[in-house]
């Protein structure tokens, strides 16, 4: 999975200043521990189970990849990281249902993120984007509408329409 991190001035109004935005896509290389490669941090990796974009991609990847990630172990990066497979599966189910993942200090203390999906013309989740904020600086629910709008805009650019719905890797259609 490849993550592109860039400054997003469109979040300035919601958060009081532009926040970093991550966009993740599948580059065909799950890498060690099924991590995310960060362009902004050469050689850096983010596990799928504890980052916002990772959770969105993992939620829509289907149970096979989820089982593999869980079998490799859910490493705690902070005391807030979800390391229990039942809690993680619940969070992934919620992400599939709502289209967003909210991560509160799971990767780094003092940092929260809200991620959403980007859907292609066939209804497959092909990318995720997130807004990252300092814990306590702004509520994640405050940036949620703007992030979802950006995800939907990206999805529409890829040809997705609500009539297509969302197709999950396991064949289910929402």
Model pTM?
0.75
Task: Judge whether residue 75 has pLDDT over 70.
Answer: yes
Cβ(46)–Cβ(33) below 8 Å: no
Terminus-to-terminus CA distance in the chain, angstroms?
Answer: 24
Q: What is the pLDDT of residues 24-56, one digit of tens each?
A: 544 444 443 333 333 334 345 678 999 998 999
Domain ranges of the chain: 2-157
Q: What is the average pLDDT score of the chain?
A: 78
CATH class of 2-157: alpha beta
Q: What is the pLDDT of residues 101-126, one digit of tens each?
A: 999 999 888 888 899 999 999 999 99
Enumerate residues 6+ apart whose C-beta is below 8 A from 107.
46, 50, 51, 77, 78, 81
């Amino acid at each position: 999975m490849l993550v592109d991190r860039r400054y997003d001035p469109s979040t300035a109004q919601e958060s009081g200043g532009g926040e970093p935005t991550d966009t993740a896509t599948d580059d065909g290389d799950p890498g060690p521990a099924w991590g995310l490669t960060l362009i902004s941090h050469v050689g850096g990796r983010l596990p799928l189970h504890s980052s916002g974009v990772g959770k969105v991609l993992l939620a829509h990847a289907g149970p096979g990849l989820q089982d593999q990630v869980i079998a490799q172990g859910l490493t705690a990066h902070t005391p807030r990281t979800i390391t229990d497979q039942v809690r993680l599966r619940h969070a992934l189910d919620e992400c599939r249902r709502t289209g967003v993942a909210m991560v509160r200090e799971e990767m780094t203390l003092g940092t929260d993120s809200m991620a959403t999906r980007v859907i292609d013309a066939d209804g497959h989740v092909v990318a995720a984007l997130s807004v990252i904020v300092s814990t306590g600086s702004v509520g994640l629910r405050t940036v949620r509408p703007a992030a979802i709008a950006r995800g939907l805009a990206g999805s529409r650019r890829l040809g997705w329409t609500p009539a297509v719905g969302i197709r999950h890797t396991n064949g289910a259609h929402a």
